[in-house]
A and B are shown apart, each in its own frame.
Chain A
């Protein structure tokens, strides 16, 4: 049973068995425009909530993507190194950014569900 959360920073977090898969929303990729470079963290790195986990760069600018909770990076999406545009074409699918083992899943409580997020950007 998985659950998906959304942040005000336009990230989505899908949690399954204590592991969160994180990406940016369709709205976010549209705002950023064509992405040309993604700086991914090292597998095994530990992050605190609010730390910059990933930097995505468009033609024009660089933007930070933050860790939504404390945890350890368990996997990164290596396909983005050669094809950062996956984030534009499939932000909630093949364009995911990283997976992390959550230290405290309760840190995600209070984040938006999909309906609330959609209402927030409408």
Chain B
């Protein structure tokens, strides 16, 4: 898909070059995968201090207009009108079959204004989908050009204050516009406390350098972002979620309030109701492989009786957990924690146990 398109470059690419990042392609973008410290140290540093991530490949959309709330409540299983100003919500974009087109964070910025943060790989698809729905509403839907930095870890708040950006009033899943053209939220994808800050391109290098001048802050690449989110039990769209998975099977029904499902205003509501009534066939679970051998995405899960009963969708080594970690989909009857399953890696049979998610405790600053 991305093979035919030119590779996209981060606005701060020179800064990553300067930090001797190793680059790789992700969702069509040339992204820093690791820095010289390496994935293990970058991962652990985030959990111990503060890791800085350039996630400018993700796409921000501003939604504004008298129908903004109605529009979002049609596009997503979201009660936009019930969101308080500054409140963020994890939600999804569903197709008519309740398949997950993307997962998103929506933040209410004003009476009729919202910010949507979407995944890089789905940004074009999301935009087309949103725009098609927007024709029925009085609403403007605008992609924003911003640098998006995430600062994650227990020192994140103190670092931000030292950098002149006091976000200590924010609690987990709230956001604000601290400066003209800026958007900051207390959120992230590592399981740690932290912030995501979107800011104009011409102010980004200076701000990033200010953060990096703080000895508590190190760059962290996409490789550690992946191991951090996997330990935290968070889904990666395209791997753990896609248009063939629905919120019930994906075990993210908590993001789809029951009242909204019954009301049925959002696209995919009928299909989702039916899936729930019939009982989802599979469920997304955590998986802990026995021993040290990592089990990767694509591995098939086999029951004691030798039947194929599921698949691994994300897998690797958890530097903080100290053992391999994975998640995947299994038949609902085998989704209880402790259930023993098996897989094969290069002809070796490996046992895995269904494990509660997350693998490492989430340390968000709740209100």
Contacts and interface: CB of A to CB of B under 8 A. Distances in A.
B296 interface: yes
Contacts, number: 48
B292 A55 contact: no
A62 interface: yes
Categorize the interface residue count of chain B: 20 to 34
Nearest to A82: B292
A26 interface: no
Given A34-B38, A58-B317, 9 more contacts: A33-B38, A33-B39, A34-B40, A36-B294, A36-B317, A57-B317, A60-B39, A61-B296, A62-B294
A37 interface: yes
B100 to A, nearest CB: 24
Interface in B34-56: 34, 38-41, 43
B338 to A, nearest CB: 24
Interface of B: 34, 38-41, 43, 223-224, 226-227, 292-294, 296, 316-317, 319, 324, 346, 348
A9 interface: no
Nearest to B322: A36
Interface string A48-75: 0000000101111110000000000000
Interface of A: 33-34, 36-37, 39, 55, 57-62, 81, 84, 88
Contacts of B224: 59
B39 A39 contact: no
Nearest to B36: A30
Contacts of B226: 60
12 contacts: A33-B38, A34-B319, A36-B294, A36-B324, A37-B293, A39-B348, A57-B294, A59-B43, A59-B317, A60-B223, A62-B296, A84-B292
B40 A60 contact: no
A36 B292 contact: yes
Contacts of B324: 36-37
Contacts of A34: 38-41, 319
Contacts of A81: 292
Contacts of B346: 39, 55
A34 to B, nearest CB: 4
A64 B226 CA distance: 23
Contacts of A62: 294, 296
A58 B38 CA distance: 11
Given A33-B39, A34-B38, A59 B293 contact: no
Given A33-B34, A33-B39, A59 B319 contact: yes
B40 A57 contact: no
Contacts of B38: 33-34, 88
A39 B293 contact: yes
The 9 closest A-B pairs by CB, nearest first: A34-B40, A36-B317, A59-B39, A59-B317, A37-B292, A34-B38, A33-B39, A37-B293, A57-B294
Given A33-B39, A34-B40, A57 B223 contact: no
Contact of B39 (A55, A58, A84): A58
